[in-house]
Amino acid sequence: MNILHLMSELDKEINRRRTFAIISHPDAGKTTLTEKLLLFGGAIHVAGAVKSNKIKKTATSDWMEIEKQRGISVATSVMGFEYENYKINILDTPGHKDFAEDTYRTLTAVDSVIIVVDSAKGVEEQTRRLMEVCRMRKTPVMVFMNKMDRDGKDPFDLLDEIEEELKIQVCPLSWPIDSGQNFKGVYNIYDEKLDLYTPSKQTITQSVEFKDINSPELENHIGEKLAAKLREDIELVDGVYPQLDHDAYLRGEVAPVFFGSALNNFGVKELLDCFVKIAPCPRPVQAVERVVKPQEETFSGFIFKIHANMDPNHRSCIAFVKICSGKFERNVYYKHVRLERNIRFSSPTAFMAQKKETVDEAYPGDIIGLPDTGNFKIGDTLTSGEDLHFKGLPSFSPEMFKYIENDDPMKSKQLQKGIDQLMDEGVAQLFVNQFNNRKIIGTVGQLQFEVIQYRLLHEYGAQCRWEPINLFKACWIESDNKDQLNDFKKRKAQFMAKDKEGRDVFLADSNYVLMMAQQDFKDLKFHFTSEF
């Protein structure tokens, strides 16, 4: 009896969880949307996106100092809240392309995604790249067409652009009534109601049930001209786009689309209401050994992100764990698969942006933080005892390189510790040149160098300076042909390095050199991502 009771309890918890990421190009309104969703969950009570005298009061999800200064998100934030008996876990990701790697990894920890598109700019480059990752993983996607209260592109053109650029069928579930200055609201196709818009920061949406769009009542609400246009548009939508096929959405083939304005809190609740109904609850995860189902009684989870210094007053690292199966309990011993030892956690935390609270239990789909004293690496697995490995947390070959040098000889210990912890987070990669023992930092973008320098100084009290180095690409090399590998390492001694794991890395200084190396050393494998 007890097991049945337990199973139904676990099933119940799994079915009410929705874990998703919000992704977009920088400035499309992602953090604002996150904040408004939190508002509905009662998780925060006042929106923070108030711009006064150009000083941006910070949104709840952007809490690192450097984010406050620049007004951009550079680290993924995790926020959980309850909404109408659903437990919602949002991962707000950095939109800036220099932090794409953090976002790619976050996408391995979610069950679905909401993409925010700026209706004036349409689909932008970063959105395209992130969509490729979603497509690769067959992640269900919903689209929120933001900033409808500003002059933008025609809604039909926007839908065409999404289909073409993101290579996914769309299915509009709401439709805008005019846009820009004359934006009057949307017709909610999904709920068959009219949502009318009155411009103000604390928008109160006036909703009218409206089953039949051909009823003359429509004119009373939006006037003759717009009523005629809306009927025409909806007829076209019905003719061109398929009805929502739930299974196709879950397979990642169709993207439902909502229109609104996150800043004015319009259309957000409608998105959320539909989302909790149709989005998937936690899904099975493919491990190297087998498929892990969330309903299994035994616990398993993996680390997809490590964050140093969530609280600058305490030098603490936190490892973010995505729970894949079973129930996680505080103070219970779990197996750390890579270290082959059992560890228990007395203070696991759940997050509401920077505010965190200790949790006694967590279920599949939940993201919890474990205090990390150097035990974890990205990709590590925790289980109730079984040896499982979750793959697919890539570290990409960096595109920019600089020597990192100590600028204050009195602080070399602090610098070393800071570099170690920040590299564990996966913000960037460290290579040690085997020829001269100099440390090289590789990143995907220029901004990461600034973030590293800033955080080393403010969080570790260490000063570093950067020195230029001209490199084209870092690639991990391996070979079964030991002689050839050694010969290569001898010939390329100046360009050989080790990564943090002690693996061989070839630092090619030009595309030509790399191509020649691949040609001359046939038995060597050159990898451009390191599967963690």
Cα–Cα distance for residue pair 266/259, rounded to 1 Å: 9
Burial class (CB in 10 A: 0-12, 13-18, 19+), 15: middle
245, 278, 311: which is the final residue of a domain?
Answer: 278
Do 378 and 398 lie in one domain? The reply is: no
Residues 205 and 261 grouped into a single domain? yes
The alpha carbon of 107 is separated from its chain's Cα centroid by a whole number of angstroms, namely 5
203: tokens are 């928008």
pLDDT tens digits, one per residue of 449-469: 888 888 888 888 899 999 999
Q: Are 397 and 104 in contact, with CB atoms under 8 Å apart?
A: no
Domain range for 332? 285-383
The verdict on residue 294 lying in a domain is yes
Looking at the structure, tell me whether residues 444 and 298 fall in a common domain: no
- DSSP H or E stretch at residue 511: helix 511-520
User: Quick one: 366 and 475 in the same domain?
Assistant: no
- How many percent of the chain have pLDDT more than 70? 82
Note whether residue 192 is domain-resident: yes
Q: Tell me the residue length of the chain.
A: 532
Q: Identify whether 180 is part of a domain.
A: yes
Same domain, 441 and 477: yes
User: Could you tell me if residue 11 is inside a domain?
Assistant: no
pLDDT digits (tens, 9 = 90+) for 236-289: 888 888 888 999 999 999 999 999 888 888 888 889 989 999 999 999 988 888
- Please check whether residues 77 and 158 belong to one and the same domain: yes
Say whether pTM exceeds 0.95: no
Residues 447 and 415 in one domain: yes
Q: What CATH number did the domain enclosing 398 receive?
A: 3.30.70.3280
Instruction: Check whether residue 373 and residue 486 sit in a common domain.
Output: no
**Is the same domain home to 320 and 267?**
no
For residue 373, the model assigns a pLDDT of 76
Look at residue 223 and tell me if it is in a domain: yes
Q: How many helices (H) and strands (E) does the chain have?
A: 13, 35
- What pLDDT was estimated at residue 264? 83
Can you tell me whether residue 256 is helix, strand or coil? strand
As for how many domains the chain has, the answer is: 3
Name the residue among 498, 503, 502, 495 with its Cα closest to residue 435. Answer: 495
Using CB atoms within 10 A of its CB, is residue 88 exposed (0-12), middle (13-18) or buried (19+)? buried
Q: Which of 364, 383, 402 is a domain's end point?
A: 383
Of 327, 354, 383, which residue is a domain's last?
Answer: 383
Q: Are residues 244 and 363 in the same domain?
A: no
355 and 330 within one domain: yes
Q: ∠ CA(10), CA(276), CA(249), 5° rounding?
A: 100
Which of 78-92, 402-416, 458-472, 475-489 has the weakest average pLDDT? 78-92
CATH number at 357 reads: 3.40.50.300
Q: Verify that 302 and 423 share a domain, yes or no.
A: no
3 in a structural domain:
no
